[in-house]
Amino acid sequence: MELPAIDICKLEKAYDGIIAIDELSLSIPQGSILGLIGPNGAGKSTLLQTLMGILLPDRGDAFILGKSILDSGPDIRQQVGYVPDFPIMYPRFKVEEMFALAQRLYINWDENKCRGLCNYFKIPASKRVRTLSRGMKVRTALVLALSIRPRVLILDEPTAGLDPVARRAFLKAMIDEAAEGGTTVLYSSHNLNDLEQTADHIAVINQGKLLLTCSIDELKNSIHKSQVVFAADNPAEKVINFLPGLIEVSKQGKIYTFTASGDQQAFREALADLNPTIIEPVNLSLEDVFITYMKKEGYSYDYAI
């Protein structure tokens, strides 16, 4: 089996008395695009910063392309591009000076690629970094990350706060990089629509713990939703609660909406025993699935006045 691009082994990190990363293990195969999702404060940024060596872990280790982030020294970052959630870089430097610096630090710097990407993202090379808007800074950071010809790309909420046009341009550039170079991409995002399209795997994190990791198709198959109407008598609540894998049930008039995990077939069969007249499957987006899943884990906002 091929070496995983990123292999996180029982990583632990705590500060300010809070456990930010709780014995987390995750393996990301080369060439895949993995979306990291979780509520705010779940530890996503901390995890990404620890992988990059910005924060030092308390225990455990992580391996990027087989090399340990603790033992291998700074050279493993020659292959890793990183875009933080709020890029600051060197505020007093001009954009072109940032590129000049990166050129001196990275062996694989590609000047042509840099210029091409600058044109594509319309980045003003002679302006100082501190005068750029946040969206422009994110795009500059992405150009910096892509021009080093990375084998691994780590992005922290890259599309947050970008206008739709810029967001699309960003995703295209990211996809292009993955398609052309077989670059492995790990990115955290709240935008599940982006993830649905661009990622092939996701990992869900909450309170520093990895809740689950699977392919997007698997996740979508793991939770299903149906709208059901029963013949004359509605089944007793007790009976309903015994439906296999049931997570949530709501009722509006005569229509029941069931959300359940696990085997859809088994659920249908159990449901058939209760004499439904209509069963209609409901399309679940990744966002729906995620919200339902988090509800199961106890994280939800219940709106009530």
**Going by C-beta distance under 8 Å and a sequence separation of 6 or more, which residues neighbour residue 27?**
4, 6, 7, 8
283 binds another protein (CB under 8 A): yes
Structure tokens at 79: 């292959």
Minimum distance of another protein from residue 248's CB (angstroms):
18
Q: Are 258 and 188 in contact (CB under 8 A)?
A: no
CB atoms closer than 10 angstroms to residue 138: 27
198 binds another protein (CB under 8 A): yes
22 binds another protein (CB under 8 A): no
31 binds another protein (CB under 8 A): yes
Q: Which residue, 110 or 235, has its beta carbon nearer to another protein?
A: 110
123 binds another protein (CB under 8 A): no
158 binds another protein (CB under 8 A): no
Minimum distance of another protein from residue 298's CB (angstroms):
26
What b/e readout covers 96-121, taking b as 16+ CB neighbours within 10 angstroms?
ebbbeebeeebeebeeebbeebbeeb
Q: Which residue, 240 or 247, has its beta carbon nearer to another protein?
A: 247
The footprint of another protein on this chain (CB under 8 A) covers a number of residues equal to 55
Label residue 53 left, alpha or beta by phi (over 0 means left) and psi (-120 to 50 means alpha).
Answer: left
53 binds another protein (CB under 8 A): yes
178 binds another protein (CB under 8 A): yes
Among 102, 246, 249, 291, contact with another protein (rule: CB under 8 A)? 102
Which range in 54-62, 205-213, 233-241, 253-261 contacts another protein by CB under 8 A? 54-62
H/E stretch holding 80 reads strand 80-83
Widest Cα–Cα separation across the chain: 76
Among 78, 207, 227, 257, contact with another protein (rule: CB under 8 A)? 78
Q: Which residue, 77 or 151, has its beta carbon nearer to another protein?
A: 77
Structure tokens at 32: 């895949």
Q: At what angle do helices 134-146 and 95-105 cross, to 10 degrees?
A: 30
71 binds another protein (CB under 8 A): no
132 binds another protein (CB under 8 A): no
57 binds another protein (CB under 8 A): no
Which range in 193-201, 206-214, 268-276, 293-301 contacts another protein by CB under 8 A? 193-201
Among 41, 66, 90, 131, contact with another protein (rule: CB under 8 A)? 90
Phi, psi of 204 (to 5 degrees): -105, 125
Among 1, 107, 165, 236, contact with another protein (rule: CB under 8 A)? 107
Q: Are 153 and 81 in contact (CB under 8 A)?
A: yes
Q: Are 39 and 300 in contact (CB under 8 A)?
A: no
Helical residues (DSSP H) of 31-150, grouped into ranges? 44-51, 95-105, 111-121, 134-146
Q: Which residues bind another protein (CB under 8 A)?
A: 15-16, 31-33, 49, 52-56, 73-78, 82, 84, 87-93, 97, 101-102, 104-107, 168, 171-172, 175-176, 178-180, 193, 196-200, 217, 220, 281, 283-287
